[in-house]
Structure 1
Amino acid sequence: MHEAFKYGGMVASVVGSVAVGLLLSLTMSILVRSAQKMYQVLRVSRLSYADLCEAAIATGPYKNLRRFSKTFRYMLECFIFLQITGTCSIYQIIIASTIKMVTEHVCPNFNVHLSLRTYIFIITIPLLVICLIRKWKYLAPISIVADLFLAICIITTMFYSMSEARSLKQRPPWKSVSGTFKFLGICLYSMDGFTLVLPIENNMKSPHHVRFVIHCGMAIVFLAVTLTGFFGYWGWGENCTSPITLHLPMETIPIILQFLLSAMLAATFAIQFWVPFRIVWRYIGKTHDYGFGKRNRWERFYRVLYLLFITCLSIVFPKPENLMIFLGSFFVSFNSFIFPSLIETLVVWRQYRQGQIRWAVVKDCGVCAVGLAFCIGGMYSLYI
């Protein structure tokens, strides 16, 4: 986010962060509200995001559109798969960058300066070990610890950025239109959590409280993301680079924190890895259902292949900022704005025809237009 602030300017980025946070909270609420209505229509207790998309189109008012329900499901699953695969790649690049910098400082007499791509390849081995964990319940406690360390790193970064900070007048309030769209792409990517919304709602004891959970969660995410961007850009200005921990001084406490952060990011990598792999395994696992033991071995085999694919992606695109802009501008725009607005329109369309909920359809059209604007503007900003 500190690089995002560098693209957008100080004031424009703060305003943009508020707007993105509010919009994402709105669209998450739209998705949950649509899902809860579909539970009643289908008489089921839970649906995944892809299930909801397929059901909304299959039961929608347009008969000619219903036969494309599977197509829309596959499209959504493909977008989620590619978005989180890119996220895993970014995590791998950040881990490799951090280890490279700390190792070269701690061992100056080692006299071997390996490239970032080499470090990406080296860390594939420990990542492979943790990615072979197949049960979510073993990863969830590690995620809590990872979040705590991440919070500590954010606070530490803010502390050191304040020691480098100059007058805010030296930071431009706004830069350019293309810079604004680059900021929005990174901001969307950083705040997005759509893949978690329905799984959380499906596992809550009181699902009717999920909107309160969404608003509280987004408030925490907004504060963490915005404070990191604000203080990072204020402290290091136009010299910002990713990951932000590269700006920390090579002292004992920051070095320990960076090693711990790398370990915790590896655990978070495994959690992110779990989501897209389950999408693929849902289809290819059926072809290897020849017994419990054989199925488990095939699953581990495909996990290794998928991790190697992510590693190749990281080696080919070792600069995370452009990848974040692309993922945020294209995939998050579709997954977080266009698909939810389409789903709600189809779900409430019968009520709209009765004249009961016209404003919801107008709102959905506006959300869809915002998503398309983010997508087109962000993609254009990458090519100018």
Structure 2
Amino acid sequence: MSNSYNMKDFSSTAVITENGLYPSTISIDTINTKCKDRNLEESDYDLFQNRKLEHPNSDVRSFANLLKSSLGSGILAMPAAFKNAGSLVGVFGTIFLGYICTHCVYLLVKTSQDVSRVSKVPSLGYAETVEAVFATGPRPLRKFSKASRIFIDWAMALTILGACAVYVILLVDSVQQIVDFYSKDNEINNTMYCLMFLVPILIFTQIKNLKYIAPFSGFANILLVLTFLICIYYICDEFPDFDSKPTSVGIDRLPLFIGTVIFAMEGIGVVLPVENTMAKPQHFLGCPGVLNITMSIVVLLYMVMGILGYLKYGNDAAGSITLNLPTQEIPALMAKVFITLAIFFTYILQFYVPMEIVWRNIREKVTQRYHNHAQAVMRAIFAILTVAAAALFPRLEQVIGLEGAFFYSFLGLIAPSIIHLIFRWERGLGKFNYIIYKDIFLIVFGFFVLVTGVMQSIKEIIRTH
């Protein structure tokens, strides 16, 4: 995200950072002072009219930004997801998970808008929304408001860093395929490839100004589109029948399917920056709104890529479909080169976001004169950690499933449902208290995905080591 703060790459990062990564942190005292009469505050304050944007985005541009952030290299992992579900289960599972993810995004945005009205703040980021919800929620929870923001901040940073480790694995796999094809007798192992990538990664991650990084976004977008088209060409060449692959597989593999789909689809970190910068933010939610239209297209494209790739390659589907393409053919070789370059730029751009999050949480603990040195050391340490993680867990599809199950299930499913429930607790829970049952179902489902996905991913990692 990503998200996107997720695998939805560089474009999501550009959307977030060019408009400011976060609004200023809100103090609990300020919120509590403003919220003495909550009902009056909610009805009187028009947050949309109070948003002062120098360059607001139209509905079309917001749609394009959200679509770009949700469509990235994650779509190339969908065939690998389908092999853990089967063709029919994969199709309906993708639709179901797409609906769940979209609804949780809706809960996050709606809660952010509502708590903004309460606290009289024009817009809030993810972490600030969580802080404001706790600060204006039931009294026993208010003391946890600051801790909740810090927790979400670090969870977001670790989520993106985990995605960066996935990028390194894909980089290594793509380059290794090319090198092994042209030099079959080489003795370069996975760890050596990781060390080779560590040098350029350390250099480029020291860039602190986004304006020197963002121009690569457009180039990487073009490379991804070209890669996608080449993959479709190979998938549709001598395409097998629909019944050539099983419609379902063992239920024990389903958590890997869920984790991979959520990882690929979830862009929870991007939606608020997109909504916050719209000229008409009231068009983001609703039917048809920017969110529903975008996610409908995303789910359709992910489902099509998943089923087509699975029918073509079956259980041989790799963590990225580009790894299944025949290296000896020029178009396939170009796709592998394109995805390597695109993912490298993705890593650099995505890395910018968690470093901003981490730095804003630790900068006050560092003397002003050492800020530059501290940032350099911080960036180097986290870059090394992502490469080390890639060397330690080299199987791409397993790490994607683990990342999706552990991080994205929490940020994308559990946290939005929890804050929505907390916010609504003293403000009405709907007819027959349906909000309680719905949100608890989403929370339980999220924890189910988290626990079973992590356990199954760890089992797979142990089995293949």
- CA deviation string 1:201-247 (max 9, x = no partner): 22222222223332233234323432332222111112222332122
Residue 74 of structure 1 deviates from its aligned partner by 2.9
CA contact (8 A) 1:182 1:378 kept: yes
SS of equivalent to 2:84: helix
Match of 2:246 in 1: 172
Residue 16 of structure 1 deviates from its aligned partner by 0.6
Asked whether 1:264 is paired with 2:371, we answer no
With 44-53 and 297-306 compared, the bigger mean Cα shift is at 297-306
CA contact (8 A) 1:178 1:377 kept: no
User: CA distance change for structure 1 residues 313 and 146 in 2, over 3 Å: closer, same or farther?
Assistant: same
Residue 28 of structure 1 deviates from its aligned partner by 0.6
With 334-343 and 131-140 compared, the bigger mean Cα shift is at 131-140
Q: What amino acid maps onto 1:152 in structure 2?
A: L
Q: What amino acid maps onto 2:302 in structure 1?
A: V
Match of 1:190 in 2: 264
Match of 1:29 among 98, 106, 109: 106
Q: Distance in 2 between matches of 1:57 and 1:270?
A: 34
Match of 2:319 in 1: 242
Asked whether 1:90 is paired with 2:166, we answer yes
Match of 2:201 among 104, 127, 141: 127
Match of 1:66 in 2: 142
Match of 1:80 in 2: 156
Match of 2:451 among 362, 368, 376: 376
SS of equivalent to 1:113: coil
Asked whether 1:282 is paired with 2:360, we answer yes
Asked whether 1:231 is paired with 2:308, we answer yes
Structure with the greater relative contact order (CA < 8 A, sep ≥ 6): 1 or 2? 1
Match of 1:337 in 2: 413
Aligned length: 378
CA contact (8 A) 1:184 1:378 kept: yes
With 11-20 and 277-286 compared, the bigger mean Cα shift is at 277-286
Q: Distance in 2 between matches of 1:312 and 1:256?
A: 28
CA contact (8 A) 1:95 1:262 kept: yes
Match of 1:49 in 2: 126
CA contact (8 A) 2:230 2:331 kept: no
Residue 164 of structure 1 deviates from its aligned partner by 4.9
With 40-49 and 205-214 compared, the bigger mean Cα shift is at 205-214
TM-score (norm 1): 0.91
Q: What amino acid maps onto 1:180 in structure 2?
A: L
- CA deviation string 1:76-97 (max 9, x = no partner): 2232222221110010110111
With 311-320 and 360-369 compared, the bigger mean Cα shift is at 360-369
User: CA distance change for structure 1 residues 164 and 84 in 2, over 3 Å: closer, same or farther?
Assistant: farther
Q: What amino acid maps onto 1:300 in structure 2?
A: A
Match of 2:376 in 1: 300
- Structure 2 unaligned residues grouped into runs of 5+: 1-77, 461-465
SS of equivalent to 1:351: coil
Match of 1:323 among 361, 382, 399: 399
TM-score (norm 2): 0.76
CA RMSD of aligned residues (A): 2.1
Q: What amino acid maps onto 1:36 in structure 2?
A: Q
Match of 1:162 in 2: 236
SS of equivalent to 1:7: coil
Percent identity over the alignment is: 28
Asked whether 1:17 is paired with 2:94, we answer yes
Q: Distance in 2 between matches of 1:377 and 1:288?
A: 40
Asked whether 1:143 is paired with 2:220, we answer no
CA contact (8 A) 1:2 1:229 kept: yes
Residue 277 of structure 1 deviates from its aligned partner by 1.6
CA contact (8 A) 1:54 1:73 kept: yes
Residue 187 of structure 1 deviates from its aligned partner by 0.5
With 356-365 and 126-135 compared, the bigger mean Cα shift is at 356-365
